[in-house]
Amino acid sequence: MLFEDGESFRRADYSVESWTGPPEGSYCHFKTRVPVKEKKKRLLVDDELLMNFFLRLDGDEDPARVRFRFVLALILMRKRLLRYDATQTADGLETWTMTTPKDHATHRIINPHLTDEQIEGVSEQVTLILHGDMGSWSPINDDSDEVPTENSHLNEPAVAQGEPQHHAGDPSEAVTPCEPVNGNQ
Domain assignment present for residue 160? The answer is no
- Which 8-state DSSP code applies to residue 114? -
Say yes or no: 68 and 16 in one domain: no
Specify the number of domains making up the chain: 2
Look up the pTM and report it.
0.52
The 8-class DSSP code of residue 132 comes to T
Q: Are residues 4 and 26 in the same domain?
A: yes
Report residue 156's pLDDT band, with 50, 70 and 90 as the boundaries: very low
Residue 82, burial from CB neighbour count under 10 angstroms (0-12, 13-18, 19+): buried
Same domain, 76 and 97: yes
Q: How far apart are CA 59 and CA 38, in angstroms?
A: 39
* Confidence bin at 73 (pLDDT 50/70/90): very high
Q: What is the per-residue pLDDT across 80-105, written as a single tens digit (0 to 9) for each?
A: 999 999 999 999 899 999 999 999 99
Structural domain includes residue 157:
no
Model pLDDT for residues 5-38, shown as the tens digit of each residue: 888 888 888 888 888 888 888 888 778 877 888 7
User: Are residues 14 and 54 located together in one domain of the fold?
Assistant: no
Q: What is the domain extent for residue 96? A: 47-136
